[in-house]
Chain A
Amino acid sequence: MSGRKTAAAGRPAVVTGLGVVAPNGIGTETFWKALLRGEAVLGPVSREGCTDLPLRVAGEVHGFDADALIESRYVVQTDRFTHFAMAAADLALEDARLRADPEKPYAIGVATAAGSGGGEFGQGELQRLWGEGPQFVGPYQSIAWFYAASTGQLSIRGGFRGPCAVLVNDEAGGLDVFGHACRSIRQGTDAVLTGATEAPLAPYSMVCQLGYPELSLAEDPERAYLPFTRDACGFSPAEGGAMFTLEAEHVARDRGAPIRAVVAGHAATFTGTGDWELSRPGLARAIQGALEEADCAPDEVDAVFADALGVPAADRAEALALGDALGRRAAEVPVTAPKTGFGRAYSAASTLDVAAAVLALEHGVIPATPNITEAHHDLDLVTGSARSSPMRTVLVLSRGLMGHNSALVLRRAGGYRL
Chain B
Amino acid sequence: MNGPMTYEDLASLMKSRAGTPVEPADLASRSASPFGDFGLDSLGLLGVISELENRYGCSIDGEPEAHKSPGALLALVNDRVSAGA
Residues of A with Cβ closer than 8 Å to B? 71-77, 135-136, 138-140, 142-143
B19 near A74: Cβ-Cβ < 8 Å: yes
Q: Which of B18, B46, B50, B53 is close to A73, meaning CB atoms less than 8 Å apart?
A: B18
Q: Roughly how many angstroms separate A140 CA and B46 CA in the complex, as a whole number?
A: 10
B17 near A138: Cβ-Cβ < 8 Å: yes
B47 at the interface (CB under 8 A from A): yes
Q: Which of B19, B21, B50, B53 is close to A77, meaning CB atoms less than 8 Å apart?
A: B19
Which residues 1-54 in B have Cβ within 8 Å of A in the complex?
A: 15-21, 39, 43-44, 46-47, 50, 53-54
Q: Which of B21, B43, B46, B54 is close to A72, meaning CB atoms less than 8 Å apart?
A: B21
For the side of the interface on B, what is the size category?
10 to 19
A-B contact pairs, 29 of them (CB 8 A): A71-B19, A72-B15, A72-B19, A72-B20, A73-B39, A74-B19, A75-B19, A76-B16, A76-B17, A76-B18, A76-B19, A77-B18, A77-B19, A77-B43, A77-B44, A135-B50, A135-B53, A136-B50, A136-B54, A138-B17, A138-B47, A138-B50, A139-B44, A139-B46, A139-B47, A140-B43, A140-B47, A142-B43, A143-B43
Chain B residues whose C-beta falls within 8 Å of the C-beta of A73 in the assembled complex: 18-20, 39, 44
Q: Chain A: which residue is nearest B45 at the CB level?
A: A139
Q: Identify 6 new A-B residue pairs, CB closer than 8 A, beyond the known A73-B44, A76-B17, A143-B43.
A: A73-B18, A73-B19, A77-B43, A135-B50, A136-B54, A140-B47
Q: Chain B: which residue is nearest A140 at the CB level?
A: B43
Min CB distance B56 to A, Å, is: 12
Q: Roughly how many angstroms separate A75 CA and B15 CA in the complex, as a whole number?
A: 11
Those 10 A-B pairs whose CB atoms lie nearest each other, nearest first = A76-B19, A73-B19, A72-B19, A139-B46, A139-B43, A139-B47, A138-B47, A73-B20, A75-B19, A72-B21
Q: Chain B: which residue is nearest A70 at the CB level?
A: B19
Min CB distance B7 to A, Å, is: 19
Q: Roughly how many angstroms separate A142 CA and B20 CA in the complex, as a whole number?
A: 18
Min CB distance A79 to B, Å, is: 13
Min CB distance A235 to B, Å, is: 35
Q: Roughly how many angstroms separate A71 CA and B15 CA in the complex, as a whole number?
A: 12
Min CB distance B12 to A, Å, is: 13
Chain A residues whose C-beta falls within 8 Å of the C-beta of B54 in the assembled complex: 135-136
Chain B residues whose C-beta falls within 8 Å of the C-beta of A142 in the assembled complex: 43
Chain B residues whose C-beta falls within 8 Å of the C-beta of A138 in the assembled complex: 17, 47, 50
Chain B residues whose C-beta falls within 8 Å of the C-beta of A71 in the assembled complex: 19
Q: Roughly how many angstroms separate A138 CA and B54 CA in the complex, as a whole number?
A: 12
Min CB distance A153 to B, Å, is: 12
Q: Chain B: which residue is nearest A73 at the CB level?
A: B19
Q: Roughly how many angstroms separate A140 CA and B21 CA in the complex, as a whole number?
A: 17
Min CB distance B39 to A, Å, is: 7
Q: Chain B: which residue is nearest A75 at the CB level?
A: B19
Chain A residues whose C-beta falls within 8 Å of the C-beta of B50 in the assembled complex: 135-136, 138-139
Q: Roughly how many angstroms separate A74 CA and B21 CA in the complex, as a whole number?
A: 12
Q: Chain B: which residue is nearest A74 at the CB level?
A: B19
Chain B residues whose C-beta falls within 8 Å of the C-beta of A74 in the assembled complex: 19
Min CB distance A60 to B, Å, is: 24
Q: Roughly how many angstroms separate A135 CA and B43 CA in the complex, as a whole number?
A: 14
Q: Roughly how many angstroms separate A74 CA and B44 CA in the complex, as a whole number?
A: 11
Min CB distance A343 to B, Å, is: 30
Chain A residues whose C-beta falls within 8 Å of the C-beta of B53 in the assembled complex: 135
Chain A residues whose C-beta falls within 8 Å of the C-beta of B19 in the assembled complex: 71-77
Chain A residues whose C-beta falls within 8 Å of the C-beta of B15 in the assembled complex: 72
Interface centre among A71, A73, A135, A143 (most CB of B within 10 A): A73
Q: Roughly how many angstroms separate A77 CA and B19 CA in the complex, as a whole number?
A: 7
Q: Roughly how many angstroms separate A143 CA and B47 CA in the complex, as a whole number?
A: 13
Q: Roughly how many angstroms separate A71 CA and B44 CA in the complex, as a whole number?
A: 15
